[in-house]
Structure 1
Amino acid sequence: MTDDDPSSRRPTRRDYVKYGGAIVGGGLLAGCSGQSSSDSESTERASDSTSGEGATGSSATASDTDPTSTGDATSSTAVETGTASSGSSYTAELSPVGTVTLDAPPENVFTHFPWFPDMASALGQGDTINDLWWDGTVEGLEYFTTEFDGFEVEWADEAGEYGFTKERLYELDSDLHLVDPAWVTTEDNWSRSDVEEVTNNVGPWLGNYYSSYHGTPPKGWADGYEYTTLWELFDRVASLYGERERYEALASVHDDLLGTVEDGLPPKSERPSVAYVSVTEDLSEIYRLRLNAPGYWNAHTRPLGATDAFGNESFSGPFNQIDLEALLAADPDVVLALWTVTETVDFGTLKRNLENDPIGSELSAVGNERVYPQGTRWQGPLMNLFQTEMTAKELYPDRFGEWPDYRDGDPYPEFGPDEQLFDHRRVANVVTGND
């Protein structure tokens, strides 16, 4: 084996960043698992099916299963233990990787799914991200943070293709890989030994993919796999970056937002029925998603406790394909359409096609002009704050203020201080370091 062989190469900067991630079980990178790296991103977003999805796995909590609970309470089990200059370390503990310890905050960080770059930006560390999949996340985050003076999505040019190789990780030589190693082993040409090799020769992993929808981790990782919430995951990432103050400030805003939502919700009998769907502009493909499911993909809809228009009908995975007839049979009061504030789906075209379709035009939501845009389920903390506010206004205009008409290309609305469900300026100041 030559020195040019990646598997034989030793760390080049590990005297700066020390990794100690003991991989103890888990399941990784499947965002829409079951797909190969060659699958198109449009197919993944429209039908991100995952093998084994829909099973409940272990360690589900009451807050994860109660539709009206927040399900994303903050945690402080992982803390930054000091500074590099004092010889201390930065530590986080997370299933399935165990404990990860860095000697200094990471400066070069690999990600794949979009919630981690969002977290890095929220912590003022967006410039550390060296790779991610799907640039639609850039569009979404730019939309929601329009009013943030001095903020930019620093990883906007780092988006690549779905999937990655071991050779690519050696090339990037990252201090930290924010990806669930259990999911990684479901991808082509990845084994558990490959995951461990990258840990030893490049840097540790940190991720918990299957918490996104409470899916079942792959064989060999399921025992002891624990679900976590979006904000608990953010807690761990903040600890490794040494950004506890920023995290605590944003977590406080999030807690206040959930309190505002809970206090303002109408009785269950007065809540609308809602179809949460992913729809192509030409209406040829429609996928329904659970509205109140556990996991951080529903971190912005579950706390709102609306009625799922499809009831408790069971299906495997986080979504299933339906047609317009099935949507009309459910006849929701409100339709929430994913991906429509990104360039993925043109919201104006989608609405017009529904209005002009002989079946779509019969929908109560269409007749009452209650078809609304959404961002993405693949949200980090910044998108989660805004999407929760957005969706609260869409579902309960009498309680939280009305969501204005949206035209493609519009920025996020400039709500006045009395109209905001959380303090936008406070969040902007925390993120940009002006707090």
Structure 2
Amino acid sequence: MTDDEGRTEAPTRREYVKYGGAVIGGGLLAGCAGRSESDPTRTPDATQQPANTGDKTEPETSTSTAEQSYSVELSPVGEVTLEEPPTNVFTHFPWFPDMASALGQGETINNLWWDGTVAGLEYFTAGFDDFEIEWADAAGQYGFAKEQVYELDSDLHLVDPAWVTSQDGWDRDDVDEIADNVGPWLGNYYSNFHSTPPESWADGYEYYDLWELFDSVATMYGERSRYEALRAVHDDLLATIEAGLPPESERPTAAYLSISADLSSIYLLRLNAPGYWNSHTRPLGAVDAFGDEEFSGPFLQVDMEALLEAEPDVILGLWTVTETFDFGTLKQNLAEDPVGSELSAVRNDRVYPQGTRWQGPLMNLFQLEMTAKQLYPEQFGAWPAYENGDSYPEFGADEQLFDHQRVADVINGDF
């Protein structure tokens, strides 16, 4: 590759994998160049705080600058229209604040649950100059009352009303009242892992992937250019990953776990399930060490003996990249446990930290890169050793699987 002055430059890793990856990709390139399901805080996520998805329909979006109308069609709410971009936005789950920040609209967020969201995004964006999480002080508690929603007087509520009616103190009349008197709802919670919505909403409920939801939010904000620029980065990243993946027969087995540092609780997560909670693991096509194990909710409790029987090549530990989790102690306890020490992933030092499945587009980009390096170091470059409290590694441009600076520029409007 040559630059504008005629100098020859070494290709970046993503360029090498995409365009020179016949050696890496082999034959693949020849073909394609304890708690309830409805309440995610009642899962091990909260106890540790501190491409092709099969989706059915892409949301319809439209923006008319002349009429200052911002309109999307999204299940389960149908068509939602604003006369101008929202400046006061209510959210609850982490992916929507992430979306707002990606669009340069983080200051509009007035509420969210779980301040762990802030710590996660800080970890991944540590290398961005002048990046601020404006909603850091908006984190509150799980759930919300109608009085709180009235008090905040939001232009838009980025929450799935079907999920809202599954919570205490809310029914269909309540969410309709808020939509009529305060502002519309817009969200699709049950696309998480294609879980089942409440019965009264189930008829016609459609599933979307993460970037389709982001598309709708971008339209409501009138930020189509930012969305399209970030979507291009994401599409390029997926192409890099697809081009670099080894044949299926050569891919590692992986166990995706929510595991406590003292090993007292171990919960299995789906690795390749549909839905946006797996939007950073599914595209990587690793083999689930637990095969087709079925479980109804987002987690299945397992023990060390079950792990040893599954014998994963790689262990991915959910939500272990912040100072609130002692990852070093986890690895030490696994190595000293009479059963854990027999695991191939432990013996080969292939126990890796992960972020969160509750990801928006910014976290998704970094988590795709992170997990690709953890699963396929020979193809995408090795993931460095992790020490508690580390920020996201500062990979050089030749080791990045997507252009980090490009993403920072898009957020800042410099593109």
Normalised by the length of structure 1, the TM-score is 0.84
Q: Does the CA-based 8 Å contact 2:48-2:260 persist in structure 1?
A: no
Report matched runs for 1:151-170 at 5 Å.
151-170=131-150
1:313 alignment partner in structure 2: 293
Counterparts of 1:406-421 in structure 2, within 5 Å, are 406-421=386-401
Which residue of 1 is the match for residue 52 of structure 2?
63
Give distance in 2, aligned partners of 1:399 and 1:32.
39
Give 1:111-122 correspondences, 5 Å limit.
111-122=91-102
Q: Secondary structure at the match of 2:71?
A: strand
Residues 73-104 of structure 1: per-residue CA shift (max 9 Å, x gap): 9x57313221xxx4420111100000110011
Matched, 1:229 2:212: no
* 1:286 matched to 2:287: no
**Aligned with 1:110 (options 78, 86, 90):** 90
Structure 2 residue aligned with 1:145, among 100, 122, 125?
125
Structure 2: unaligned runs, 5 residues or longer: 1-34
Q: CA deviation at 1:169?
A: 0.1
SS in 1 for 2:174: helix
Alpha-carbon separation, structure 1, partners of 2:36 and 2:232: 31
Identity of aligned residues (%): 69
Distance of 1:265 and 1:173 partners within structure 2: 48
Q: What amino acid is aligned across from residue 213 of structure 2 in structure 1? A: L
Unaligned runs of 5+ in 1: 1-30, 49-61, 66-70
Alignment of 1:212-223 (within 5 A): 212-223=192-203
> How many residues are aligned here?
380
1:190 aligns with 2:163: no
Distance 1:44 1:280 in 2: 10
Give the whole-Å Cα distance in 2 for the aligned partners of 1:72 and 1:378.
21
Indicate yes or no: 2:272 matched with 1:271: no
C-alpha separation in 2, matches of 1:94 and 1:286: 36
Higher deviation after alignment, 404-413 or 336-345 = 336-345
The runs of 4+ residues in structure 1 deviating greater than 2 Å are 31-36, 42-48, 342-345
**1:77 and 2:60 aligned:** yes
Query: How far apart in 1 are the matches of 2:127 and 2:278?
Result: 25
Q: Any conservation in 2 of the 1:177–1:206 contact (CA below 8 Å)?
A: yes
1:45 aligns with 2:46: yes
Contact 2:190–2:197 (CA under 8 A) maintained in structure 1: yes
1:387 maps to 2:387: no
1:194-209 to 2 correspondence within 5 Å? Answer: 194-209=174-189
Cα displacement string for residues 383-409 of structure 1 (whole angstroms, at most 9, x for unaligned residues): 000000000000000000000001011
What secondary structure, in the 3-state scheme, does the structure 2 residue paired with 1:63 have? coil
| 2:165 aligned partner, one-letter code | T
Structure 2 match to 1:92: 72
Distance 2:116 2:322 in 1: 6
- Residue identity opposite 1:63 in structure 2: N
CA distance in 2, matches of 1:318, 1:89: 38
Partner secondary structure for residue 80 of structure 1: strand
State the SS of the aligned residue for 1:277: strand
SS of 2:61's partner is coil
The answer to whether residue 227 in structure 2 is matched with residue 247 in structure 1 is yes
Q: State the one-letter code of the partner of 2:52.
A: S
Shift of 1:348: 1.1
- Equivalent residue for 1:322? 302
Contact conserved, 1:178 with 1:206, CA < 8 A, in 2?
Answer: yes
Question: 1:187-223 deviations in whole A, cap 9, x for unaligned?
Answer: 0010000000000011000000000110011011000
> Which whole-Å CA distance do the structure 2 matches of 1:72 and 1:194 have between them?
29
Q: Compute the TM-score of the two structures, normalised by the length of structure 2.
A: 0.88
Question: CA offsets per residue over residues 32-52 of structure 1, 9 Å max, x none?
Answer: 64449xx67x7553599xxxx
CA contact (8 A) 2:44 2:267 kept: no
Provide the aligned C-alpha RMSD in A: 2.0
**Are the aligned partners of 1:126 and 1:153 in contact in 2 as well (CA < 8 Å)?**
yes
Q: Is the 8 A contact 1:136 1:343 kept in 2?
A: no
For 1:237-277, what per-residue CA distance to the aligned partner results, in whole angstroms no more than 9, with x for missing partners? Answer: 00000000000000000000000000000000100000000
Q: Which letter does structure 2 place at the counterpart of 1:217? A: P
Superposition deviation, residue 314 in structure 1: 1.4
Task: Name whichever structure is richer in helix by fraction.
Answer: 2
